[in-house]
Amino acid sequence: EERLIAWHNALLRDDEGRIVAVLSAGIDITKSRKMEEELRYLNFHDKLTGVYNRNFLEKEIERLDTATQLPISIVMVDVNGLKLVNDTYGHERGDELLRSAAQVLKASCREQDLIARFGGDEFVILLPETSPEEAQEVCQRIRSKAKGVFVEEVPLSLALGLATKERGEESLTEVLRRAEDEMYRQKLAETRSSRS
């Protein structure tokens, strides 16, 4: 079994300052190191879905808001009807719906794309160096993969909003707001069908 040991060494000297012995003590830090890694993971990941969390997303928005990442697209995703599912079937089913949504997003995105849970029923996808046309392809993959996904008899329904930063003077926070506005427009259009 492999263990992590923190060694502490002390030199023992005689009256004339010569080293006569080395005193070593080893402490098994395997459990504490594992706990540190888990805490580090939880600091940047959403526990329920396994994608990044809002804390990490906000740091990445600051880091990626540079001219070298242009164009950078943002997709805002909302799980339609989550409150209705929670109220009707219970929170376990709602959690299952969120996990299913996260799986669809992971399966639809590229390796360099960053997926984060932004709020209760919202996800944000950062797409560095991605034109509006390429981002639209990602959205199409998401819609396509979401079709046919059910939790019990409830279909997974997602509202998507897309915005792209193409000029350096615009902030990514503004682009995120535009993606959110677009997502809400789509959500309003789909609300009746989601409820039925």
Active site amino acids: 121
CB 105 within 8 A of CB 124: no
Strand, helix or coil for residue 122 = strand
* CB of 133 closer than 8 Å to CB of 72: no
The neighbour count for residue 32, using CB atoms within 10 Å, is 12
Q: Where are the alpha helices (DSSP H) in 109-171?
A: 132-146
**Residue 176 corresponds to which tokens in the numbers above?**
């995120």
Contacts of 2 (CB under 8 A, 6+ apart): none
Using the structure block, give the residue that is written with the tokens 């000029």. Answer: 167
